[in-house]
Amino acid sequence: MRTTGTFEKGRCVDTALIELTESPIDFESLTNSVRDHRAGAVVLFLGTVREITGTEETVQLFYEAYGEMARRSMQELAEEAQRRFPVVRSAISHRTGVLAPGDVSVAIAVSTPHRAQAFEAGRWLIDTLKEKVPIWKQEHYKDGRVDWVHPGLNSSGSPQVSP
């Protein structure tokens, strides 16, 4: 993982803005970046750090990324979304490092000619990002425990039931 504290500038390839950043996500700029006169709808999805999961209280999350692959993978998602849906523009930004409850960990903005397509494309982008992009979160609980989150695994490697 890159440990530079600098903002890694978004890459603009075709019509997709992709970024992986240690700085707070500017989701207003991200949203504006997908506005376009060909679009009739813009949808913004924000993933935020949840404080309570079941009976567990999270005090912070740490996000680690395999930077080069994560950026390329998000770019490929944006390109695939354009093949699957009538996407005019899309933008994906994911945070790394330490985040507190309420912080924005991921933002996805997408514009399409009509609203249903924008919701569908945004839903597909976040669902597929969570499945494929090499980024991991580590839970820091109030009682001091620290756990990497790996769907399908627990820390000892035995099967874990999804919440």
Partner 1 sequence: MNIRVLFFAQAKVLTGVSSVALTTAGDGSLGDIQQQVLQAYPALSPIFSQLLWAVNGQYCDSSCRLSENAEVACFPPVSGG
Judged by phi (left if over 0) then psi (alpha if -120 to 50, else beta), residue 157 lies in left
**Residue nearer to partner 1 on the CB measure, 39 or 58:** 58
- Of these, 68, 100, 116, 145, which contacts partner 1 (CB under 8 A)? 68
* Residue range at the interface with partner 1 (CB under 8 A); choices 6-14, 35-43, 52-60, 122-130: 122-130
Coil, strand or helix at 150: strand
Q: Does 98 bind partner 1 (CB under 8 A)?
A: no
DSSP per position, 67-115:
HHHHHHHHHHHHHHHHHHS--SEEEEEEE-EEE-TT-EEEEEEEEESSH
- C-alpha 145: how far from its chain's center? 24
Q: Does 141 bind partner 1 (CB under 8 A)?
A: no
CB 39 within 8 A of CB 88: yes
Q: Does 133 bind partner 1 (CB under 8 A)?
A: yes
How many residues of this chain interact with partner 1, rule: CB under 8 A? 35
Residue 150 CB partners (closer than 8 Å, separation 6+): 136
> Checking DSSP bridges between strand 16-21 and strand 89-95, what pairing results, if any?
parallel
Residues 6-45 that bind partner 1 (CB under 8 A): none
- Of these, 25, 65, 99, 118, which contacts partner 1 (CB under 8 A)? 65
Coil, strand or helix at 153: strand
Q: Does 123 bind partner 1 (CB under 8 A)?
A: no
Q: Does 97 bind partner 1 (CB under 8 A)?
A: no
Q: Does 101 bind partner 1 (CB under 8 A)?
A: no
Residues that bind partner 1 (CB under 8 A): 1, 47, 63-66, 68-70, 72-73, 94, 105-106, 126, 129-138, 148-153, 155-158
